[in-house]
Amino acid sequence: MLSCKELVKIVSSDEHLSPRYKLEIRLHLLMCHHCRKYTKQLEILKAGFKTLLNKKTQDADENKLKEIEDRIIEKISNHKD
């Protein structure tokens, strides 16, 4: 059976996506509330990071991006000639 430490390693390096561990991981999570908490935390981390990124890119709206694109296009055109 997988130990908690092995589960942490497998789950956080995405090795659990391979079918090899699927059943073992499910069984372990059924029995171990610490590891359930751990995997839940990783989901929260992902969601939190998404929210943060959305917030950071909020003011990069279409107008602002268009201005940036305009400057790049101008620069590239000059650069080429």
Partner 1 sequence: MNNDDTDLIKKIRQRDPIALEAVVRLHTGHLYKACLGLGFQNFEAEDITQSVWITFFDVVAQFEGRSSLRTFLFGILYNKASEYRKQNKRAESTENIEEVIDEHFNKHGHWISSHSPLSPDKFLESAQTMSLISKCLEFLPLNQKMAFILKEIDEEMTETICNILNVTSTNLGVLLFRARNQLRECIERKSR
Residues that bind partner 1 (CB under 8 A): 3-6, 8-9, 12-15, 32, 34-35, 37-38, 40-42, 44-53, 55-57, 60, 65, 68-69, 71-73, 75-77, 79-80
Could you please report the per-residue DSSP string of 16-71? GGSHHHHHHHHHHHHH-HHHHHHHHHHHHHHHHHHHHHHHHTTT--HHHHHHHHHH
To the nearest whole angstrom, how small is the minimum distance from the Cβ of residue 20 to partner 1?
A: 14
How far apart are alpha carbons 4 and 29 in whole angstroms? 9
To the nearest whole angstrom, how small is the minimum distance from the Cβ of residue 43 to partner 1?
A: 9
Q: Which is nearer to partner 1, 19 or 79 (CB)?
A: 79
To the nearest whole angstrom, how small is the minimum distance from the Cβ of residue 72 to partner 1?
A: 5
